[in-house]
Amino acid sequence: MKPHRILPEERFSTLLLGDVRVRAARPQPVINPAYGTAFASVPQADPEHLERAVGVAQDAFRRWRALSWEERQAHLEALADRMAQARDELADLLTLEQGKPRHSAAIGEVDYAIGWLRGIAGQRLNGRVLEESLHHHVEQSYAPLGVVGLIVPWNFPLCLAIWKLAPALMTGNTAILKPSPYTPLTALRLAELAEDILPPGVLTVLTGDDALGQWMVDHPGIAKISFTGSAATGRKVMTGAATHLKRVTLELGGNDPAIVLPDADLDACVPQLFWGAFGNSGQWCVGIKRLYVHDDIYSQLLDALVAYARSVPMGDGMDPVNQLGPLQNARQYAKVRDILDDCARQGLRFALGGERAAPDQAGYFVPVTLVDDPPDDSRVVVEEAFGPVLPVLRYRDFDDVVRRANDTEYGLGASIWGRDTAFAQTLAERLEAGTVWINEVYVHGVDFPFGGHKLSGLGVEHGAEGLAAYANLKIRMTAR
Ligand code: NAD
């Protein structure tokens, strides 16, 4: 089998530093995960490229910060318009590099990112008067930080880049964006689209491997790192940032529980639970990763999930019939396979899946897998698989299910499903998570702060708090 498309070697062969295009000595291949073969290559930035990127971003900062909010909004709106014109091309690139089905790439990521960019562009971070008296005027305001480093993973390459870029630029900072080495193309295309909209140096996209991320963390000219990725890397970012007391926002992993109450409307929630767990082939931070189902409805719900899952085709995302794609990279594939092998070794029962993908599927495919009531201490429950593998767990007692749901080092999201929403609220109060959804999951909004408890992160994105995270607070006091 051949990948649908191979991009010409020259297509993404340069980095834009200010208004100069430069080549890198070492190209880096980009793999189409549906086939496991390279279909493009991108430059691999070295420390010299980073040095130049920081220089142009610092130059640009002086002018960009001086613009009004309305002027910066107009630039971001123009970028959103340009992205909308390039929607189909961006969606193609996303599917080719990430693996997700083409319609999800277009609607769930490109359109979403464009809407998000517009939403943040309309926000304002207003100062306020803290004291106004005969003797004293005290005012609180915000000052941009300078050059910020934005480091993102491979599961939602465009959406997560925009989640960071939009508030960073609106608050007057300039940005260096580092996409994952696995999914660099949509970010490079974004830089091209922005080329004649944003002044040179306001946005620089640097592609490179993990070392580039660490150089950014260590660079004294970068004032803040906003990072999304694993908790293990998040720790390295925080350690490195300490040298220069760099600001950090960390959006890390999760092992989100969903609790289904005995009165849940199963017809309504089965599709939502399925997509909450298996959308993007399970590769999302706030995906449902442990499903706790009340004993009274356990068998009925598990059967319904199995039946639903059987109706969802998986394969190359460029084929419109497919609603689920492969895992994004070989490392992730090996990790998920390892967890499945562990399930098999422990003699756990697969209600569905668990087997290896059909031999004709050359890419990183793992069939949708439901594990029937594994022990709480099994790897499939304790670890974040980040793949299409869901442990379904029985419970009878509500106090007990809250304890089990909280029994994780993570605390990103959680969801509760039931008709008695007042009761669900009482459980929600007791869950240790940054966001708890009731009868829905993974809904975000530009005005709703999003962040993790415990190992799931530090700080928040979105909302007024998310904007403020890209600024220094400044107090001005005037004696009268
Ligand atoms: P990762 O931590 O391996 O990599 C993320 C990014 O960090 C990549 O761009 C990578 O090149 C870079 N990086 C690697 N080492 C670095 C270092 N030492 N210093 C600086 N940067 C470095 O994560 P991943 O495997 O790409 O992504 C999967 C993880 O991301 C999962 O745990 C998932 O839950 C998490 N995630 C969290 C959120 C959220 O909002 N909380 C969203 C999506 C994904």
Q: Which residues of the chain have pLDDT under 50?
A: none
Pocket of ligand 1 (CB under 6 A): 151-155, 178, 180-181, 210, 213-214, 217, 228-230, 233, 236-237, 251-254, 285, 384, 386, 412, 452, 457
The count of C-alpha atoms lying within 13 angstroms of the C-alpha of 34, restricted to the half-sphere facing its C-beta, is: 24
Q: For 77-105, write each residue's pLDDT tens digit.
A: 999 999 999 999 999 999 999 999 999 99
The count of C-alpha atoms lying within 13 angstroms of the C-alpha of 207, restricted to the half-sphere facing its C-beta, is: 31
Instruction: Quote the pLDDT of residue 447.
Output: 97
Residue 184 CA to ligand 1 center (angstroms) comes to: 14
Cα-based angle 56, 210, 382 (whole degrees, multiple of 5): 135
Q: How far is CA 380 from CA 4, 278, 306, 413, in A?
A: 34, 15, 18, 18
Q: What is the pTM of this model?
A: 0.97
Q: How far is CA 320 from CA 34, 183, 280, 327, 475, in A?
A: 14, 21, 15, 18, 55
Residue with tokens 């562990």: 342
H or E element, residue 417: strand 413-417
C-alpha to C-alpha distance for 455 and 461, rounded to whole angstroms: 16
Pairing of the two strands 290-294 and 389-395: parallel
Q: For 297-308, write each residue's pLDDT tens digit.
A: 999 999 999 999
Instruction: Quote the pLDDT of residue 358.
Output: 65
Shortest-distance atom of ligand 1 to CA 254: 34
User: Residue 473, class by beta-carbon neighbours within 10 Å (0-12 exposed, 13-18 middle, 19+ buried)?
Assistant: exposed
Among candidate residues 53, 27, 36, the one with its CA nearest the CA of residue 1: 36
| Residues contacting residue 292 through CB under 8 Å, at least 6 positions apart | 257, 258, 259, 260, 393, 394, 395, 401, 404, 405
| Residues contacting residue 78 through CB under 8 Å, at least 6 positions apart | 197
Instruction: Quote the pLDDT of residue 149.
Output: 99
Taking each helix axis from N to C end, the angle separating 157-170 and 185-194, rounded to the nearest 10 degrees, works out to 40
C-alpha to C-alpha distance for 378 and 404, rounded to whole angstroms: 13
- Best residue among 230, 283, 335 to mutate for probing ligand 1's pocket (most ligand atoms within 8 Å of CB) is 230
Residue whose Cα lies nearest atom 9 of ligand 1: it is: 180
Residue whose Cα lies nearest atom 43 of ligand 1: it is: 285
| Residues contacting residue 5 through CB under 8 Å, at least 6 positions apart | 39, 92, 96, 318
User: Residue 20, class by beta-carbon neighbours within 10 Å (0-12 exposed, 13-18 middle, 19+ buried)?
Assistant: exposed
Residue whose Cα lies nearest atom 33 of ligand 1: it is: 253
What are the structural domains of the chain? 14-252+456-479 (3.40.605.10), 257-445 (3.40.309.10)
Shortest-distance atom of ligand 1 to CA 209: 11
Residue 229 CA to ligand 1 center (angstroms) comes to: 2
Q: What are phi and psi of 458, to 5 degrees?
A: -145, 125
Structure tokens belonging to residue 391: 């442990």
Shortest-distance atom of ligand 1 to CA 461: 40
Torsion 454-187-442-377 (CA) sign: negative
The verdict on whether 251 is a catalytic residue reads yes
C-alpha to C-alpha distance for 425 and 225, rounded to whole angstroms: 35
